[in-house]
A and B are shown apart, each in its own frame.
Chain A
């Protein structure tokens, strides 16, 4: 009788511990973000992330761009979901890594630039509206996401972008379209109001009238 009671007690304790362990199982997300110049926006985005139900240990290092948080493993948050959410919050993710609670690791290295042979490279300048370092990261990433673009840079003071691409693979208008989809007006493409309004405060530039 004594043995049965003891066994029941041990099984009971183990069940509680196991349930707690499962409850506490968290995936760890590490995202490298670019363009964190303005503390007001960066801290704000960190704050907004903290409001997601179940999220823990939200931390952003402004100097290194290391953004990390923990999220319940049972939610099985995907890399794509995380990057989308990070972008939605205004950050520009460069690379991401997930350490799953079960020990598996997932990594995303970000964009791989198109390599264009020297003779085929077309260089163009265009005006892109934006304000700050966060804008710069977003604009450059949007341009480089277009197949055929090998180089892109943007100057926040002059608002001018320099872009190098293979004209047999893409055209300047396509690049402008990708940039405007990311939230930034160009001469030929204006971003929609909803995308513009979703940008962080420091990125709210003066709109280019078409």
Chain B
């Protein structure tokens, strides 16, 4: 009987060990070339990838091979876009407006406050956040009211030209571009934490936050830094990355866009043995 209990115990211990999750890292898979596009933002609309092509004042929808399938023109310097359902949200840097584009047409987001070069937008359920570049602040709508937080500076909670923003369930994450860091706020605009400030980034331009990781593009240094939610650096990606401006995870694949050469570099997440944990590149 005693032996039976020991055997059952051993069985459970072994099963648990087998299910223990191995650490993971992102590895380069392929490069998708998108000809004639200088992408700044990327968004997933109902399974389709859209890019904002700032240099050419348009949005393009591409297929898996990078071929342009649709184009939306007459935008003024569209930047870090986002999507909710089938609606694209487009910050127009040159027009100081956020346009919402869907199958029914185009409308401008109405708000009392005026923007000065919106560089990024994020939508989450009924919430919206805008990186208001020249005003050095974030404007946030909680579904009922708008608030604004931040001003020019280098201290905690201050910004030096924010270029991108993402709302998650309980936080607002900001690419504080020329302070070279990520800043995190609660939904009342209260500063919570910062990360990447010690990584010698040179223009932290685009941000993407997943369930467990924070991705930030380091524009001038041609790399992407990956942090855990506490701000510990987990990995640095640089293979084929040149002047990266934004990134997204689609169907488990990390897609990073290069502004200058229009290439999208795709990375997969793979499990690694702890003793192989060289997380660089």
Contacts and interface: CB of A to CB of B under 8 A. Distances in A.
Do A and B share a complex? yes
Contacts of B220: 37-38, 131-132, 156, 202
Interface residues of B, number: 25
B177 to A, nearest CB: 7
Nearest to B161: A201
Contacts of A44: 93, 117, 133-134
Interface in A55-96: 61-63
A39 B202 contact: no
A121 B245 CA distance: 42
Contacts of A17: none
B219 interface: yes
Interface in B65-81: 77
Interface string A25-45: 000000000000111100110
Contacts of B77: 39, 43, 46-47
B94 A47 contact: yes
Given A201-B177, A201-B178, A202-B178, A40 B202 contact: no
Contact of A37 (B54, B55, B178, B243): B243
A131 B202 contact: yes
Contacts of A63: 38, 55
Nearest to A47: B94
B160 A39 contact: no
A204 interface: yes
Contact of B40 (A37, A39, A47): A39
B203 interface: yes
B243 A40 contact: no
15 contacts: A37-B260, A38-B219, A39-B38, A39-B245, A40-B205, A44-B93, A46-B94, A47-B94, A62-B55, A156-B220, A201-B177, A201-B178, A202-B178, A202-B220, A204-B160
Interface of B: 38, 40, 54-55, 77, 93-94, 117, 119, 133-134, 160-161, 163, 177-178, 202-203, 205, 219-220, 243, 245, 259-260
